[in-house]
A and B are shown apart, each in its own frame.
Chain A
Amino acid sequence: MVSLLEMPETASPITMNEPAPRPNAPVERASIEIEHLDFAYGSHQVLHDVTLDIPPRAVTAFIGPSGCGKTTLLRCLNRMNDLVDGARITRGAIRIEGIDINQPGVDVVDLRRRVGMVFQKSNPFPKSIYDNVAYGLRIAGISRRTLIDEAVERSLRSAALWDEVKDRMHVSGYGLSGGQQQRLCIARALAVEPEIVLMDEPCSALDPIATAKVEELIRQLKTRYTIVIVTHNMQQAGRCSDRTAFFYLGKLIEVDDTTKIFSNPGQRQTEEYITGRFG
């Protein structure tokens, strides 16, 4: 296996078209570049020619109606779809820091360490709070207790959970509230020091207070991480994200600064969706 960081940039086996024109306002420097991406589950194509740059150290929100392909695209970014039978990219490429992540030889475990993910429903392991956060480090082969202790505290602090759990690190993660469990999952993702954090509707099961805490956490995290969030909550996309991408029927309709999208979108379909005049 070759680490993603060690992959030569010129080794892409995927035949690429000419560089895609960037839809709408381009970003200055992309952390993730998605070019002409087609994706299918078996014979059912769900993403069509998606070209999108995702800037570093900023929050990019994917919005769109159910079935528009936003979660599928999110899961492409750390190859989570590899686990789905028949799911495959049929054209195009995804590059992270210039490296095509779908090249043969890319270490998927290393990719998923660098591109962490937080899911719609919090999914702590049936372990203690400490062991939940330490899990990824141990998998990565780190065994020194002091290193793990430091990483666990750092991650819990980054996830704004440390003060709430520092005196009960060895109780089960299941004993936490829904909002705390979700922040525990964020801490678990941060423990392995990713560069990118993917969030798939991270607040959909949380009450407004827990949602506000996660949103504030996202705001703090974006100074250190590239964040991509899928959300059905328009207000959340407006509050949390710097850029917003609107998808419909597997196509990227529009991407721009969030303020622009929610004040004066360029495309009629975007306007109709965000104002509730859809379908």
Chain B
Amino acid sequence: MTEQKHILATFDEALGSLRNSVLMMSSLTERSLERAIAGLFQRDDEACAIAIADDEEIDQFEKQVDHDGIDLLLRFQPVASDLRRVVSAMKLSSNLERMADQATNIARRARKLNQHPALPEVELIRPMYAHAMAMFKDAIDAYVRSDVDQARSVVPRDEALDELNRMAGRRLTERMAEDPAQLRGYLNLIFVSRCLERVGDHATNMAEDAVYAVAAEDIRHQQSAAGVRPR
């Protein structure tokens, strides 16, 4: 990435502001996911309520990033790495917003689960959450540090998360047959598992956007193009 200052200081300021909005959005999304999962594991309805309320602020950030990005494109017509930075910031923002939606979904499912006795199968969610959050944090870290290698390393990790989701789904379906009285609870856990699988998908997208921003390389859909089963 080019480090030298732009001749137009207003351009650097606008680009810096856009990046800060994305980073702020990322922090809020991370916090929202943490609160939603705390609501699930600690059976804390208040944490769930806060996670759901957080979504509004993140939505507003998404609109702000879109507005600022379009404004930057209109006023400065950036090219090369500058254009990629604007485009990737806007795409990251979209993925963060959808990730925050998953936090809201998890919090809503957790509130439903909290109305009934705890299910030991909630432990199936713990490794999935750890894996999804690690992917998310590494994708953001790669974006912040313009680290292409780190960003690339995030992408293949999504397969392991998909496998954890499949395993959890199988186990919870078995439990539904064994214990139909808890069917709704198991169903809610299946939804939570799917939400975390989606978080991994968004983290993958963000890592791919980070690669594009730094190296101008489009690494999306390479597995599906190679005949490997798509995510």
**Interface set of A (CB-CB < 8 Å, partner B):** 234-235, 238, 262-265, 268, 271-272, 274-279
Contact = CB atoms under 8 A, between A and B. Distances in A.
Interface in B32-89: 77-84
B216 A263 contact: yes
Contacts of B77: 234-235
Given A235-B77, A275-B78, A263 B5 contact: no
Given A263-B216, A264-B216, A275 B81 contact: yes
A271 B2 contact: yes
Chain B contact surface mostly: loop
Given A263-B79, A265-B80, A272 B216 contact: no
Nearest to A234: B79
Nearest to A238: B79
B80 to A, nearest CB: 5
A247 B123 CA distance: 63
8 contacts: A235-B77, A264-B216, A271-B2, A274-B80, A275-B6, A275-B82, A277-B2, A277-B7
B80 A262 contact: yes
Interface residues of B, number: 16
Contacts of A274: 79-80
Nearest to A262: B79
Given A263-B216, A264-B216, A276 B6 contact: yes
Contacts of A262: 79-80
Chain A contact surface mostly: helix
A65 B78 CA distance: 18
B208 to A, nearest CB: 16
B181 interface: no
B191 interface: no
Contacts of A234: 77, 79
Contact of A277 (B5, B83, B84, B216): B5
A83 to B, nearest CB: 35
Contact of A263 (B4, B8, B83): B83
B4, B80, B83: most-surrounded residue (chain A CB, <10 A) = B80
Given A271-B2, A271-B80, 19 more contacts: A235-B77, A262-B80, A263-B79, A268-B2, A272-B2, A274-B79, A275-B6, A275-B79, A275-B80, A275-B81, A276-B7, A276-B8, A277-B2, A277-B4, A277-B5, A277-B6, A277-B7, A278-B7, A279-B7
Given A263-B216, A264-B216, A272 B4 contact: yes
A264, A275, A278, A279: most-surrounded residue (chain B CB, <10 A) = A275
A275 B2 CA distance: 9
Contacts of B78: 275
Contacts of A265: 80
A93 B81 CA distance: 36
A275 B78 CA distance: 7
A265 B2 CA distance: 12
